Amino acid sequence: AQRVTQPEKLLSVFKGAPVELKCNYSYSGSPELFWYVQYSRQRLQLLLRHISRESIKGFTADLNKGETSFHLKKPFAQEEDSAMYYCALVDNTDKLIFGTGTRLQVFP
């Protein structure tokens, strides 16, 4: 079955520390993966997608097919990065499957 796993419910770091939000997936074939973010009192929004290989707000995510991972990274966390982060995969019926999310807390 196709699945997205985010093993950490909560990740707490201090401002300026590096951040890595883990995402592992199960999918046969070439996956299409996304990171969505939900800031406090705001709606869910797209952060980045692997096909565009972009950096948004200092975040990057690299697809590692060998490890079936798509971890989200930022070298220096900021307080405004505090939010709920969801990894998502397009399944073989063209539906988005979301992980359970990781709450990132960045302390001053």
Distances in Å between the Cα of 92 and the Cα atoms of 2, 32, 89 are: 8, 10, 10
For another protein, give the closer residue by CB, 52 or 66.
52
| Distance of closest approach, residue 103 Cβ to another protein, in angstroms | 10
Residue 17 as a binder of another protein (CB under 8 A): the answer is no
Which is nearest to 13 in space by CA: 78, 72, 61?
78
Coil, helix or strand at residue 79: helix
Residue 92 as a binder of another protein (CB under 8 A): the answer is no
Residue 10 as a binder of another protein (CB under 8 A): the answer is no
Residue 93 as a binder of another protein (CB under 8 A): the answer is yes
At a CB cut-off of 8 Å and minimum separation 6, what does 41 contact? none
| Distance of closest approach, residue 108 Cβ to another protein, in angstroms | 27
